[in-house]
Structure 1
Amino acid sequence: MTVALAPSRSSVSAGIGFACLGFALYTCMDTAVKWLSAGYPLYQVIFFNAAFGLVPMLAYAQLTGGFGQLKTRRSWLHGVRAALALIGSFTCFHAYSVMPIADVYAILFCAPLLITALSVPILGESVGWRRWSAVGVGFIGVMVMLRPGAGMANPAILGALFSAVANALGFLLLRRFIATENRITFGFYASAATAIATGLMILVFGGVMPALNDLLPIAIGGMLGGSAYLFVTNAYRQAPAAVVAPFQYTQMIWGVLSGYLLWQDVPDTTMLIGCAIVIASGLYILHRETVRQAPVAQGATPAGTVASAASPIKTT
């Protein structure tokens, strides 16, 4: 048995840098979505985001080997992921439109718990009692945030939770097939299909002509989302998932900051307590995943090639 070589210090540093930048850009995109949702139909906002998100992806594909790398033999796979991305976009973007960004993030952070739980029936993985315990504790945190009897009546909160489920399912498919599919295809086909579907909705149901002062946030928001996907996927390419994944939680910092500066939103104590429980559970699951997979045996996937089950890559 041989052990995979650990990534160099410079590679890990680059991965951390890519992760911090990528997750910060995701928050910029989400802020643009919330800003635009007040004046445009939701399907039109999703169209803007997906269509402009294709620009950096196409540019990256051209610069790193040409458009040929976007070819795939698994159209069904990308069709399923595109459907999950479309549904997740509607539920998540609706939540952004009526809730503080930080509150939506707190609920979305339960995705690693869902990934761990769903990896048993979908991937056939074995989950030990420690990780099951962490999942259970994490869902207690989710219930604290949902406030049964009060929050459960809020469709936006349920939408954010459903978006976390869609994100988890999409990531499990990515994890299952990433070894034989170019990583960029997952983001490209999801965005392309979403743009086509919502573009047809605009033709059928009508849209709103963008105001001149909205054109810049429309374009920048979408391109930042596409760029964020590229930065985060490259972060996992440069550094082990155990190093990269925790930086996803920095989105809470940026979400609180943008929400306060633009809308004077401040998360309440109950939401913060629930979020802290979920984050702690996710980090423990990541720790157990890292312990379980080390050392990497010959024939296994080297560290950093596939994100761990506790670190979903956002594609919506």
Structure 2
Amino acid sequence: MSTAFAPPPERRLFGIGLALVAYFMFTGIDSSAKWLGQLGFPLMQIVFLRYVVHLALVSAINLPQQGLNLVRTGNLRLQILRAVAMLGMSVGNFLAVQYLPLTVTGAIGFTMPLILCALSVPMLGETVGWRRWAAIGVGFIGVLVIVRPGSDAFHPASLLALAGTASSAFYFIFTRRLAGVDSPATSQFYVGIFSTLVLAPFALANWVWPDSIDGWIAFFAIGMFGFVGHQLITVAYGFAPAAVIAPFSYLQIIFMALAGWMVFNQLPDIWLYVGAPIVIGSGLYIWLRERQLAKPVVTPIAEVR
């Protein structure tokens, strides 16, 4: 006889608070990756650390309770595709943050709902009307304002950030397809185990140990930020609807601006203040249209990096 569990009572303000802490944690992932890169750690080791700590925590918490049920999946192919997409997201973004301010990579990351909306047509069979296509076009104009291709300010790493964001859109599509197939714990396990196994040969071949306190902190923090952030955003959705939480994800740009200023002494230039509101406004418009059309609301930033 199975035991039925009642869903937690709705506590919207508490859910929003948890989500904001989660977005702070996601900023910590990028900050840790940028810090480790500046200390001379190889890219593959940085990404490996992100996932091996994640895998260790997911396994330690869930394996004692779930045992082999944690690794059982109803669709192994989709789990692998989802893990590949998230790995591509991390590699593209972690490499980009070595050359760009956190605010720039973060603003580019806000195009994820625009890319996801466009990909939902061929991959999910959804219909996108002219209003949302217009919002997608306007959003990418905002990206052009931020990165300014063809100018002296343009850096090719912007394309890496955009590629990482495109990977995140595929990640969310595969996540949507896995809804109701596997538990969140199982999906997190496969993301961790896949990336850990793929990256281990490259990371271990050129392994570097920290030689400073700040290096050791970032060494372990990158995985901790990822795991805690993912757990908090999952719990947050239990207390508040996605439609309530989604718009608050854009406040992550504030966390990124603070981290860029306080940790890396990088202040945003004027064009970020022009382009970022365009991108954010486009994403919010798509969110409003999907809410009006009673479609599942896409969280602009969730389970990222």
Give the TM-score, by structure 1 length.
Answer: 0.87
Q: Which AA in structure 1 matches 2:303?
A: K
Q: Is the 8 A contact 1:61 1:67 kept in 2?
A: no
Compared CA separation, residues 156 and 10, structure 1 to 2 (3 A) = same
Question: SS of 1:179's equivalent?
Answer: coil
Identity of aligned residues (%): 35
The match for 1:129 is 130
Compared CA separation, residues 237 and 122, structure 1 to 2 (3 A) = farther
Question: SS of 1:207's equivalent?
Answer: coil
Structure 1 position 18 matched with structure 2 position 24: no
Compared CA separation, residues 115 and 151, structure 1 to 2 (3 A) = farther
User: In the TM superposition, what is the alpha-carbon distance from 1:167 to its structure 2 partner?
Assistant: 0.1
The match for 1:290 is 291
Structure 1 position 271 matched with structure 2 position 272: yes
Structure 1 position 313 matched with structure 2 position 265: no
Q: Deviations over 1:9-57 (max 9, x none)?
A: 7432332122111111111121111111122000011111111122332
User: In the TM superposition, what is the alpha-carbon distance from 1:59 to its structure 2 partner?
Assistant: 4.1
Q: Deviations over 1:230-267 (max 9, x none)?
A: 11122233322211111211211111001101121111
Bigger shift: residues 118-127 or 9-18: 9-18
**Partner Cα distance (1:119, 1:236) in 2:** 22
User: In the TM superposition, what is the alpha-carbon distance from 1:147 to its structure 2 partner?
Assistant: 1.0
The match for 1:99 is 100
Compared CA separation, residues 218 and 10, structure 1 to 2 (3 A) = same
Q: Deviations over 1:249-292 (max 9, x none)?
A: 12111110011011211111112211110101111111111111
User: In the TM superposition, what is the alpha-carbon distance from 1:293 to its structure 2 partner?
Assistant: 0.5
Q: Which AA in structure 1 matches 2:302?
A: I
User: In the TM superposition, what is the alpha-carbon distance from 1:195 to its structure 2 partner?
Assistant: 1.7
**Partner Cα distance (2:131, 2:32) in 1:** 39
Q: Which AA in structure 1 matches 2:253?
A: M
Question: SS of 2:263's equivalent?
Answer: helix
User: In the TM superposition, what is the alpha-carbon distance from 1:183 to its structure 2 partner?
Assistant: 1.8
User: In the TM superposition, what is the alpha-carbon distance from 1:143 to its structure 2 partner?
Assistant: 1.6
User: In the TM superposition, what is the alpha-carbon distance from 1:62 to its structure 2 partner?
Assistant: 4.7
Q: Is the 8 A contact 2:147 2:154 kept in 1?
A: no
Compared CA separation, residues 183 and 314, structure 1 to 2 (3 A) = same
Map of 1:136-151 to 2, 5 A cutoff?
136-150=137-151
The match for 1:200 is 201
Q: Which AA in structure 2 matches 1:17?
A: G
Question: SS of 2:98's equivalent?
Answer: helix
Compared CA separation, residues 8 and 314, structure 1 to 2 (3 A) = closer
**Partner Cα distance (1:41, 1:110) in 2:** 28
Q: Deviations over 1:197-256 (max 9, x none)?
A: 2211124x4222332522232112211111101111222333222111112112111110
Q: Is the 8 A contact 2:20 2:248 kept in 1?
A: yes
Q: Is the 8 A contact 2:73 2:181 kept in 1?
A: no
Question: SS of 1:98's equivalent?
Answer: coil
Q: Which AA in structure 2 matches 1:109?
A: F
**Partner Cα distance (1:150, 1:188) in 2:** 43
User: In the TM superposition, what is the alpha-carbon distance from 1:78 to its structure 2 partner?
Assistant: 1.5
**Partner Cα distance (2:151, 2:301) in 1:** 29
User: In the TM superposition, what is the alpha-carbon distance from 1:309 to its structure 2 partner?
Assistant: 3.1
The match for 2:233 is 232
Consecutive unaligned residues of structure 1, counting only runs of 5 or more, are 1-6, 295-306
Q: Deviations over 1:167-208 (max 9, x none)?
A: 0011011112212221233332112211222211124x4222
**Partner Cα distance (1:249, 1:58) in 2:** 31
**Partner Cα distance (1:253, 1:69) in 2:** 36
Compared CA separation, residues 228 and 310, structure 1 to 2 (3 A) = closer
Q: Which AA in structure 2 matches 1:71?
A: R
The match for 2:74 is 73
The match for 2:256 is 255
**Partner Cα distance (2:193, 2:152) in 1:** 34
Structure 1 position 109 matched with structure 2 position 135: no
The match for 2:173 is 172
Structure 1 position 119 matched with structure 2 position 120: yes
Compared CA separation, residues 42 and 125, structure 1 to 2 (3 A) = same
**Partner Cα distance (1:308, 1:285) in 2:** 9
Q: Which AA in structure 2 matches 1:210?
A: P
**Partner Cα distance (2:304, 2:292) in 1:** 27
**Partner Cα distance (1:150, 1:88) in 2:** 26
Q: Is the 8 A contact 1:190 1:315 kept in 2?
A: no
